[in-house]
């Protein structure tokens, strides 16, 4: 499981002209669920997201988590994070989990993160438009298999 985490001052996701999720200060998390991912992968990513200390404290040092600052999380499924573009010019998405495996894990991620902080989400398999202001910019890459 992979995630791209971006600190934001505001973000939203729209599907067919309707806003399905919107946050102010917080984290936008794009999550890619790979074939073979388990509850352990989910726990690793979700716990990292809610525990990342990327918000400044009173000394302007990033020591605070999204929960510490009263922020929210906008969680967006993105199978393209599972792409392999090492060969040729067309990325392969063969490592992305099939919907029957990915949807329950995505829904579990919403619930697990939502147990700690307010969470909004996109719509699985939808064509989404995501708007965000990347604060910093501050972007973190996570991989449950710790490939990077």
Residues labelled catalytic: 78-80
First to last CA, the chain: 12
Contacts of range 135-139, beta carbons closer than 8 Å, 24 or more positions apart = 135/7, 135/8, 135/9, 135/25, 136/7, 137/6, 137/7, 138/6, 138/7, 138/54, 138/62, 139/4, 139/5, 139/6, 139/7
CA dihedral of residues 103, 104, 105, 111 (deg, nearest 10): 110
CA 43, CA 137: separation in Å to the nearest integer?
Answer: 26
Helix (H, G, I), strand (E, B) or coil at 122: coil
């Amino acid at each position: 499981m992979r995630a791209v985490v971006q600190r934001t001052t505001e973000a939203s996701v729209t599907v067919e002209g309707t806003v399905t999720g919107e946050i102010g200060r917080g984290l936008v998390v794009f999550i890619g669920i790979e074939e073979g991912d388990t509850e352990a992968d989910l726990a690793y990513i979700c716990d990292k997201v809610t525990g990342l200390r990327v918000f400044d404290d009173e000394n302007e040092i990033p020591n605070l988590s999204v929960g510490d600052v009263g922020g929210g999380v906008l969680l967006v499924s993105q199978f393209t994070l599972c792409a392999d573009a090492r060969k040729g010019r067309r990325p392969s998405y063969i490592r992305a989990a099939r919907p029957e495996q990915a949807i329950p894990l995505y829904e579990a991620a919403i619930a697990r993160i939502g147990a700690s902080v307010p969470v909004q989400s996109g719509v699985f398999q939808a064509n989404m438009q995501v708007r965000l202001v990347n604060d910093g910019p501050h972007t973190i890459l996570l991989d449950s298999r710790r490939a990077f």
